[in-house]
Amino acid sequence: MDTRSELQATVDAMAQPGKGLLAADESGPTIAKRFKTIGLESSEENRRAYRNLLLTTPGLGEFVSGVILYEETLGQKADDGTPFPQLSARNGIVPGIKVDLGKIPLALAPGDEITEGLDGLARRFVDYKRQGARFAKWRAVYNITASLPSRLAIEANADSLARYAAISQEAGIVPIVEPEVLMDGDHTIGRSAEVTEAVLHEVFNALHRHRVVLEHILLKPSMVLAGSEHAQQSSTADIAAHTVRILKRTVPSAVPGIVFLSGGQTPEEATANLDAMNRLGPLPWNLSFSYGRALQEPPLQAWKGQASNVKEAQAALLKRARLNSAAALGKYDASQEKS
């Protein structure tokens, strides 16, 4: 199969209506914080056991089309000895890999950050693909204040995202492009919309410059909402209206799928907001989810590190996946939260 056909086949498998992605790519420090909430040590075996719980959930492939793995997880095995990427593929879930190396302060731009990981990326892709990864993810972050992000941060992060996407496509791996406008702060929803529009405009300008094929990417943006410390929190209707308006202004219709990050929202908020957006259709792209905590928080709390709780935890994950699948079709019913 040539590279273009390979990319198309992966996109087709991932961007199925009513299916989304499970983000299970937490770094070492992040998974340690999650485990701390249930009083569990973040050992390699505990991390493997937890990812095994997620990936062996019966029926998950009905609602989830892809899973983003951390580099450690890509090389780990399920209880039956099957490598996690092969286990996922067997269950109809496309395996992918987080490839950025995290964020650092952007030089000469106080308060702004830039993502590392471009050096040696092409060589790493050879190994990731050999292990079974078919897509990748790179995250850029943008802090919001009255003066941030700076123009420099917007341009520098867009260029890095585009360079990563080009390297990824050349390797035959579908890139997920993730420009996250952080919800931390006391900014209004209007300020969030202003920054998100500027960020997405620059990202797609950079993708064009780097000759990235838009039909073979997925976009993973944040929703447009007021800062978490703002006195007036955004309603579901406002979040949906602002987010869809900005996407229509900035995202070409050639992009096959947009998979939102949850960005600190509760599981219920992330589901309701996705549903509200899909009720504003018809839209030119498939709007779905790529949630980490908003899918994982309930199963993690149910599991508590105990093997006897695995089935209960898997039921909690399957419920959230099913509700988000309904939201991706604009058919979510909040009364189902109680069932």
* Percentages (nearest 5) of helix, strand, coil residues in the chain: 50, 15, 35
Render pLDDT for 155-198 as a digit per residue (tens, 0 to 9): 999 999 999 999 999 999 999 999 999 999 999 999 999 999 99
Please tell me the distance from the alpha carbon of residue 251 to that of residue 203, in angstroms, as a whole number.
10
C-beta separation of 69 from 84 below 8 A:
yes
- Report whether pLDDT(331) > 90: yes
Smallest Cα–Cα separation from 234: which of 279, 199, 274, 269? 269
Whether the per-residue pLDDT at 339 is higher than 90: the answer is no
Q: Is 45 in the active site?
A: no
pLDDT at 127: 97
C-beta of residue 135 within 8 angstroms of C-beta of residue 93: no
Contact 279, 246 (CB under 8 A): no
* Separation between Cα atoms, residue 223 and residue 265, nearest integer Å: 10
Kindly state the average pLDDT of the residues 104-130. Answer: 98
Q: What is the CATH class of 3-338?
A: alpha beta
3-state SS, 122-146, equals HHHHHHHHHHCCCEEEEEEEECCCC
pLDDT tens by residue, 131-155: 999 999 999 999 999 999 999 999 9
What per-residue confidence (pLDDT) applies to 174?
Answer: 98
Given the residues 178, 202, 269, 297, select the one marked as catalytic.
178
The residue from 19, 98, 137, 220 that is catalytic is: 220
Predicted confidence at residue 338, as pLDDT, reads: 85
Quick one: CA dihedral 311, 313, 314, 320, positive or negative? positive
Residue 2 predicted with pLDDT over 80: yes
Q: CA–CA distance from 118 to each of 33, 53, 239 (Å)?
A: 27, 32, 33
Output the pLDDT for position 281. 83
pLDDT in tens, 28-86: 999 999 999 999 999 999 999 999 999 999 999 999 999 999 999 999 999 999 999 99
pTM: 0.98
For 243-286, the pLDDT digits (tens) are 999 999 999 999 999 999 999 899 999 999 999 999 998 999 99
- Decide: 318 and 59 in contact? Cβ < 8 Å: yes
Which amino acid does the sequence have at 316?
A: A
**Cα 30–Cα 104–Cα 163 angle in degrees, nearest 5:** 100
Q: How confident is the model at residue 287 (pLDDT cuts 50, 70, 90)?
A: very high
Encoded amino acid at 240, one letter: A
> What integer pLDDT is reported at residue 1 of this predicted model?
78
Annotated catalytic, 178?
A: yes
Output phi, psi for 175, to 5 deg: -90, 130
d(CA 121, CA 133): 14
| Residues in contact with 58: Cβ distance below 8 Å, sequence separation at least 6, in sequence order | 314, 318
How high does pLDDT run on average in the chain? Answer: 97
